[in-house]
Chain A
Amino acid sequence: MQLGLSDTQQMFLDTTTKFLDGHSGPGRARELMADPEGFDRSDWDQGGQLGWYAMLVPEKYGGGSISESGLGDAALVAEAMGAHVHTGPFLATNVTAFALAEYGRDDQKERFLPSLAAGSSIGTWAYAETDSDWSAGSVALRATPTDVGYVLDGTKSYVQDAATADLFLVTARSPGGLVEVIVPAGAPGLCVQPLESLDLARRLAEVSFTGTPVGRADVVCEGADAKAAVERQLQVALVLQCAETNGATGAGLDMTVGYAKERVAFGRPIGSYQALKHRLADHRMWLEGSWATTAYAAGSIWDRRPDAAAAARVAKAHVGRWSTHILHDCIQIHGGIGMTWEYDLHLYFRRAIANEVLYGAPDDHMRHLVDIAEEAAR
Chain B
Amino acid sequence: MFYREAGQFKSSYKEDQAIFPILQDRIGMGIILLIAFVGIPLFTGDYFIGAIMTPFLILALAAIGLNILTGYAGQISLGTGGFMAVGAFAAYKFATFTFTFGGFEGTMPLVITILLSGVMAALVGIMFGIPSLRIKGFYLAVATLAAQFFIEWVFIKVGWFTNYSPSGVITAPPLIIMGYEFDTAAEKYLFTLTFVAILALAAKNLVRSHIGRGWMAIRDMDIAAEIIGFKPLQTKLSAFAVSSFFCGVAGALWAFVHLGTVEPEAFGINRSFAILFMVIIGGMGSILGSFIGAAFIMLLPIFLNNVPPMIGWNIGVDMVAHLEFMVFGVLIIFFLIVEPHGLARLWTIGKEKLRTWPFPY
Q: A and B: partners?
A: no
